[in-house]
Amino acid sequence: MAVLCKPAIAVPEYVITNEETLDLARRLHRGNPQLDLALRLIEHTGVQKRHLIQPIEAVLKHPGLEARSILYESESKARVPGVVYRALAQAELEPRQIDLIIYVSCSGFMMPSLTAWLINQMGFRSDTRQLPIAQLGCAGGGAAVNRAHDFCTAYPDANVLIVACEFCSLCYQPTDVGVGSLLSNGLFGDGIAAAVVRAEPGTGMSLERNSSYLIPHTEDWISYAVRSTGFHFQLDKRVPGTMEPLSPALRSLAEEHRWNVSKLDFYIIHAGGPRILDDLSRFLDVPPEAFRFSRATLTEYGNIASAVVLDALARMFDEGSALDGHQGLLAGFGPGITAEISLGTWTSPTS
């Protein structure tokens, strides 16, 4: 049994509201012929506020890739351990009981990965395996859950720690003024999430089946251009329509497991934007309310990339609506265009 336990979440202290974002866009991009379209898109994201690791004034000052890399490292080392300790406590495990750490981030780069620092600083065993995931973007959270499931299938007594650390504000590029870039400036936020997949029975999502699916020939729809100034996010206007070709992959996995994807008890979905959730509701024939956890993440934090699915799952834990035996789906979507999909049954041994 591999049980995905309650995630721990942290968002940084600096906040920017959607109104402040719109005012900022009007001021910084006055005269941009695409500004009105970008403002309409930002208004309809459903995002009310986002959290940042720096005040917005500092975010807007691009100090260069080297300075941003230094900040990424210092902020991740300052903020990640507390989240990890909470995730371990919620899984009732100690650092030495973890056999693999999966570290997910698409908004900064370190070599060695932060996993090495965590092992040295937090009491993990020296033989703890490390799996950094850097290039799956927002799909990285779902991929981490799937790779943890795979590891626990191969090693049935193993426990896996997942850490998603996303400081999307460090990817802001003041010279990128296309509609996709302006929209992303009003959509993405910063956040950290951690969760344990444990071998022993516990409360959470007992993982049963997973899969990946890539829409052919869409690898340039979501991408980074890596330049001397850092990561330049590139978003194709066709991305919001990707749920039509992806929803059959979700349906097919459920059918392979003899489940009906339209009749599941819970859905934990990456909230890249409101249309993703609206379309998935339509194509999977499930009520919009089924995605309430994902919508709440989007509203309160914006798109926090790979951390979204873990935050949405934590919200379901907090609501307390999942009952022993409930069947559910977790899915993350990102560059490729890639879907990482999990099926599992809610288990609550104490109920």
Catalytic: 165?
no
Q: How far is CA 238 from CA 173, 180, 253, 329, in A?
A: 22, 11, 24, 25
Nearest to 127 by CA among 104, 101, 151, 92: 101
> Residue 130, SS3?
strand
- DSSP letters along 64-107, please? -HHHHHHHHHHHHHHHHHHHHHHHHHHTT--GGG--EEEEE-SS
Q: Which one of the listed residues 5, 106, 138, 168 is annotated catalytic?
A: 138
Q: Return the SS3 of 152.
A: helix
- The tokens for 159 are 């426990």
Q: 3-class secondary structure for 178-241?
A: CHHHHHHHCCECEEEEEEEEECCCCCEEEEEEEEEEECCCCCCCEEEEEECCEEEEEECCCHHH
Residue positions annotated with a catalytic role: 138
